[in-house]
Structure 1
Amino acid sequence: MSSKTLYPEITIFKVRGYVSAANATQFLEQLTTAIKTETNSILLVDMKEVEFMDSAGLMAMIKGFRLAQSLNKRLSICSVNPSVRMVFELTQLDEVFEIFENRDAFEAALAVN
C-alpha cells in the first residue's frame, strides 16, 4: 500500500494483494495516516491490484470513509476487480462509496464538477 499525489489536490492510495482480517489493521492504519496527514481534500483509493477483500477489509474502508467525511475530505475508489466489486454490491456499500471504473473515469467526473 502506498500513496502519492496525482494532482495538487488529489492523493492516490494504491492497495495491493489481499485485504483481510490478517492485515486489515495495518491497512486501516495506513489509510488513516494518508487521510490525516495529506493536505489534499481528495483521496482516491486505487484497488486495481486488490485480489480479495473480506469483511475486515470492508470495515477498514468504512472507518476510513467516516474519518475522511469528518475531516471534510472526499474518499473515492477506482479500478475495483469484479469479485471485490461484488462484495461492495452485496453489502450495498456501492451506494455509499463513489466507485469509478478507473482513474480516467474519476478524473472525468472531477472535470465535470
Structure 2
Amino acid sequence: MQAVLKCAKIQVVHPQGCLNATNALELERDLTTTLTQDEVSGLLLDLAKVESIDSAGLMALVSALKVAQTLGKSFQLYSVSPAIRIIFELTQLDDIFEIFVDQPELILT
C-alpha cells in the first residue's frame, strides 16, 4: 500500500490602489480564474496596498468568495487596513469573510 500526501497550494494575490467600478470586473475575473485552477486549493488576498474599496470592489470579492465556496476552496483576506476594515464591518461582510490581521503562517484547508 502506498501513502499519498496531497499538499494544499494556496495562491496569494496582492491587489493595489483602489478597488472600484473601474477595475472590479477585472479583479473578479482574475480571482475566479485563479480559483478554478485544479492545482489551487485556496486563495489568500493581501489587502495591504489597497487604499479604498467601493461597492463594486466588494461585489467582486463576494463573487470570488462564492466561487471558492462552490469549488470547496478557501478564500481569506489579510493585512486589511483600519479604513478598509470599517467598510467590511459596516456592510457586515466581516462576518462572511475570514480576515486575518497579518499573513497566516499556516492555513489548513
If the TM-score is normalised by the length of the shorter chain, which range does it land in?
0.7 to 0.9
In the alignment, which residue of structure 1 is the partner of 2:3? none
TM-score (norm 2): 0.87
Gaps of 5+ in 1: 1-6
Equivalent position amino acid for 2:73 in 1:
K
Contact 2:8 2:41 in 1 (8 A): no
Identity %: 40
- Structure-1 separation of matches of 2:8 and 2:61: 24
- SS for the counterpart of 1:99 is strand
Contact 1:48 1:79 in 2 (8 A): yes
Identify which of structures 1 and 2 has the higher relative contact order when contacts are C-alpha pairs closer than 8 Å and 6+ apart.
Answer: 2
Gaps of 5+ in 2: 1-6
- Structure-2 separation of matches of 1:34 and 1:41: 10
Given candidates 94, 105, 108, the residue that maps to 1:107 is 105
Structure with greater strand percent? 1
Question: Which entry has the higher C-alpha Rg, 1 or 2?
Answer: 2
- SS for the counterpart of 1:18 is strand
TM-score (norm 1): 0.84
Larger mean Cα displacement after TM superposition, 22-31 or 64-73:
22-31
Runs of 4 or more above 6 Å deviation: none
Contact 2:17 2:50 in 1 (8 A): yes
